[in-house]
Amino acid sequence: MALSINIAKAQKSKTKKQKAVTEEEVVIDKFAKYVLEEKEYDFGVMNENGGLLIHDFPIKNTGNIPLIIKDVQPECGCTRTEWTMQPIAPGAVGNIKAVYNPMGRPGGFRKAITIFTNAEREQVQIFVKGTIAPSKYQFGSTYTYQYGYLAVNNNTFKFNVYGSNADSTLLKMYNLSNKKIQIKRIETPPNIIVTGQEYEMRPNTDLDLQIKYWPRHKGDLGDFSQEIKIYTNDDSLPVKLIYVNATVREDFSHLTPKELKKAPKITIDKVLHDFGDIGHKDSAVTNFIITNKGKTDLIIRKVKPSCNCVNVEMETMVIKPRKKAKLNVDYTSFNVVGLDIRGIKIISNDPNNSELNVTIRANIVR
C-alpha cells in the first residue's frame, strides 16, 4: 500500500513538473535583446573641408521578440543620425547611421549618441570620435568625399549600360597628407577594370583612375551593386572602398523606324495592389494582367521582386500580339508589423517601356 502511495505521489509530481515546463515554454519575453557589434568608431585624422563623416553601427536582435529602436539622440547638432525605423525581427540586423559634420570644427572630438529601445536597459550610448585637421584647401564640386588622407570626387558611382556595351567614368583622388601616398593594388570584380597613368601621389597632388564597367553576364538585365577595393599605404585608412551601382538595359539602338513601329508594347491592368489587413507570417496572392498591344512578340526578360517575401511566376514569358498573360504574385508577411510596401520590376523587350514597376502593399497585424 505504501508503495502504491509513493508511486502515485511520484506520478503527480512528474505531472506538475511537465506542466511547469510546458507553461515555461510558452512564456513570451517582456523585453527585447540585442548586440551592438561596435560601440565606438574612430574616424582618425580627417580634413575639415573633406565632407561629412559617416559610419554605420549594426545592431542585431538576439532575443525572441521584435527589437524596436524608439529614438536615437546625438549629443549635439554637429552630429545627426538615421536608424532602422521598422521593428527588427529576431535574428535580423538593423542599422544606426552616425553623420558628423567636421566643417569649422578643427581639433579632437568624441560625441555620444544615445539609443532608446524596448530592451530591459532602455538606453545605451555609442560614440564617434576623431581629429579634424584644419584644411589648407577648399574642396568644392571636384573633391567631395574623404578617405583618410585621400580626398575623392565620389565614393559611389552609377553606370548605365545598354546591351553588352561598357560605361566608364573617372575616379579623381587628391593627397591631403604630407607624405607620398601609393596605390599598392586594386581589387575589382571580373567585369570592372580600373586603370591609371600613375599610381602614386606626392603631397598636395592628384591623379585620375578610369573605372570601366561591363555587364556581369550577357543578357542579364536590371540593377546591380558591386565594390572596388583600393589598397594604399595611407596609414589612417589603407583600404578605400568604392561602390559601383549599375543599371543594365537592353540595347534598342539598332532598331529601324519600321521595326520600332512594329515593336511589342507592354501594358498592365494595375500598378498597385493593396492586400489590406493580413496576419503576421500569413500569405496572400494576387495577379496582374499583362497585355501586349504591339505587333510583335512581347518577351518578358525578367521579373524581379524587391525582397524574398514575394514570389512571382509568369504564366508565359512570351506574349503574342493582342494577347494577355498573368503575373501571379504570392506575398508572405514577415518581420514587420504595420504597413509593408514591396516593389516588382518587370523587364521586357518593349523598346519604349523596357522596365515596368508595380507595387504591392499590406497592413500586417498580429
Q: Which residue has the higher pLDDT, 236 or 178?
A: 236
Write the pLDDT tens digit of every residue in 31-68.
999 999 899 999 887 767 656 889 999 999 999 999 99
- Does the pLDDT value for residue 10 go beyond 80? no
Residue 67 is predicted with a pLDDT of 95
Q: How many CA atoms lie within 13 A of 321 on its CB side?
A: 6
Residue 21 is predicted with a pLDDT of 46
Distance CA 92, CA 86 (A): 12
Write the pLDDT tens digit of every residue in 199-243.
998 877 789 999 999 998 888 899 999 999 999 999 889 999 999
- Does the pLDDT value for residue 244 go beyond 50? yes
> Is the pTM value of this prediction over 0.85?
no
Asked if 280 contacts 365 with a C-beta cutoff of 8 angstroms, the reply is: yes
Structural domains of the chain, with CATH: 35-133 (2.60.40.10), 145-249 (2.60.40.10), 257-365 (2.60.40.10)
Q: How confident is the model at residue 12 (pLDDT cuts 50, 70, 90)?
A: low
Q: How confident is the model at residue 98 (pLDDT cuts 50, 70, 90)?
A: very high
Residue 194 is predicted with a pLDDT of 97
Q: How confident is the model at residue 178 (pLDDT cuts 50, 70, 90)?
A: low
Distance CA 234, CA 46 (A): 12
Q: Which residue has the higher pLDDT, 106 or 351?
A: 351
- Does the pLDDT value for residue 181 go beyond 80? yes
Share of the chain above pLDDT 90, in %: 71
Nearest to 285 by CA among 303, 305, 312: 312
Share of the chain above pLDDT 70, in %: 89
Residue 103 is predicted with a pLDDT of 82
- Does the pLDDT value for residue 23 go beyond 50? no
The DSSP secondary-structure symbol of 27 reads P
Strand order from edge to edge, sheet including 324-332: 266-268, 283-292, 324-332, 310-314
Write the pLDDT tens digit of every residue in 269-323.
999 999 999 998 899 999 999 999 999 999 999 999 999 999 999 999 999 999 9
Contacts of 179 (CB under 8 A, 6+ apart): 203
**Mean per-residue pLDDT of the chain:** 89
